[in-house]
Amino acid sequence: MQISAKISHFHGVGIPFEVCEMPITATPNDVLVRVSLATICGSDLHTVSGRRGAETPCVLGHEIVGTIAAPTRRRSATGETLHEGDRITWSMTACCGTCDYCVNRNLPQKCETMFKYGHARNAGDSILSGGFASHILLRPGTAIYRLPDAVTDKEAVPINCALTTVVNGLETIGLQAGETAVIHGAGMLGIYAACYLREKGYRCVAVVDTNAGRLEIAKRFGATHTFNPNDKSVAEIDTALKELTNGRGADLGVEVSGATIGIPNLITWLGIGGRCLTLGYVYPNADISVDAHQIVTKCIVLRGVHNYHHTSLGHALGFVAETRTRYPFGELIGKTYPLSDINTAFVDAMNQEALRIAISS
């Protein structure tokens, strides 16, 4: 099957996106997807601002939902046959399934030949690999999930990056109902972490951010307490958290702000035996300074998680399907721009007009 796809090329920092058309041939061994909606993730902003490098030209965008656009022999992650017209989401990375990371280390997201959608130079066999386009081709080793009919595109679109990263991180560090958590950062990951922890039985979920508007959103998504460092010092937040925990300090810290003060603050706020999960530093040279004496004397576990294990995507999708009537996930997506206005969309996203700005071709 031959189609003409519309794509946007990122050529480098300070250069406007170029929207162009290219012919694509798909066979039944491929999964050709018509992109319904894609959102601008914080990682896309890091790339466009030059905070982290990218090989160009590249089609950005990895938070995507779409519809299968041609017959395929491939199957879903749960073994179902896939049909033209199926609404789907898929893992942000494709893995080989045979290397040491895939087989022995339970880290398929760090596969030796891992491919990451929306991050690759647009050349050779990686054409149509980003979401800011009319179509995308899904390669072997991608975990594909059909979307439940009830879950809308807006509810679904950030699942395959933001939510699944949170779910996999929290599954990795381990959860315990009744605990107290403190989340550093009320961006998309922090908001998802708040509602996920509440649904997992966390008694107190405190969210810390300097953006008062985002703290209000966090309250609608399960935060039991919010703290703004513009109003309260680190020591005052520490005192407040200790009052909530009989003087112990928080059990779980989640760093999703990407600010280098995040881990030092969380190490301060955690109690003895506390666990600290960090997902936020997806750019290089995020140097931090902590009093490691606290890590030792409080027996703190510090754990980083990058990308995610593809099985967590199924769990994340189930979470949204089950809780979508309790949390207004769709409202986390702000304005939707046509692909032809991608440059304006990125300006809005940079200005943090909303937690997510969407693009639809």
Reduced to 3 states (helix: H, G, I; strand: E, B; else coil), residue 212 is helix
Q: Which residues pair with 240 in a beta bridge?
A: none
**Residue 44 or 238: which CB sits closer to Zn ion?**
44
Q: Which of residues 246-265 bind Zn ion (CB under 5 A)?
A: none
Q: Per CB under 5 A, which of residues 136..175 are in contact with Zn ion?
A: 161
C-beta closer to Zn ion: residue 183 or 250: 183
Nearer to Zn ion, 41 or 48 (CB): 41
Q: Provide the 8-state DSSP code for 80.
A: -
CA distance 128 to 126: 6
Q: Which residues contact 311 (CB under 8 A, 6 or more apart)?
A: 77, 143
Tell which positions 4-33 bind Zn ion, by CB under 5 A.
none
CB of 124 to Zn ion, least distance (A): 20
* Residue 234: Cβ within 10 Å count: 15
Q: How many residues bind Zn ion (CB under 5 A)?
A: 8
Smallest gap from residue 77 Cβ to Zn ion (A) = 16
**What is the number of other CB atoms lying within 10 angstroms of the CB of residue 334?**
18
d(CA 57, CA 19): 12
Comparison of 138 and 161: residue with beta carbon closer to Zn ion = 161
Instruction: Name the token pair of 168.
Output: 């996999």
Q: Is 45 in the site for Zn ion (CB under 5 A)?
A: no
Q: Which is nearer to Zn ion, 268 or 307 (CB)?
A: 307
Nearest distance from C-beta of residue 200 to Zn ion, angstroms: 23
Residues 83-102 that bind Zn ion (CB under 5 A): 95-96, 99, 102
* Of 125 and 291, CB closest to Zn ion: 125
Least distance CB 134 / Zn ion (angstroms)? 20
CB of 325 to Zn ion, least distance (A): 26
Number of H helices, E strands in the chain: 11, 17
User: Taking CB under 5 A as the rule, does residue 41 contact Zn ion?
Assistant: yes
Residue number, 96 or 234, with CB nearest to Zn ion: 96
- Residue 218: helix, strand or coil by DSSP? helix
Scanning 38-46, 124-132, 232-240, 287-295 for contacts with Zn ion by CB under 5 A, the matching segment is: 38-46
- As a whole number of angstroms, the distance between CA 329 and CA 152 comes to 9
Residues 231, 197, 224, 245, CA torsion sign: negative
Residue whose token pair is 């050779």 = 124
* Spatial separation of the C-alpha atoms in residues 88 and 90, rounded to whole Å: 7
Should residue 111 be labelled a site residue for Zn ion when binding is judged by CB under 5 A? yes
Q: Report the alpha-carbon distance of residue 249 to residue 333 in Å, rounded.
A: 34
Q: Least Å distance between CB 162 and Zn ion?
A: 6
d(CA 168, CA 165): 5
Minimum separation from the CB atom of position 308 to Zn ion (A):
10
Q: Which amino acid does the sequence have at 311? A: T
161 vs 317 by CB, closer to Zn ion: 161
Structure token pair of residue 105: 């280390």
Q: Of residues 8, 36, 43, 109, which one binds Zn ion by CB under 5 A?
A: 43
What is the C-alpha to C-alpha distance for residues 126 and 16, in angstroms, rounded to an integer? 22
CB of 286 to Zn ion, least distance (A): 16
What's the one-letter identity of residue 165?
T
Measured between its terminal Cα atoms, the distance across the chain in Å is: 20
Cβ closest to Zn ion, residue 170 vs residue 241: 170
The least distance separating Zn ion from the CB of residue 142, rounded to whole angstroms, comes to 13
282 binds Zn ion (CB under 5 A): no
Q: Residues in the site for Zn ion, rule: CB under 5 A?
A: 41, 43, 95-96, 99, 102, 111, 161
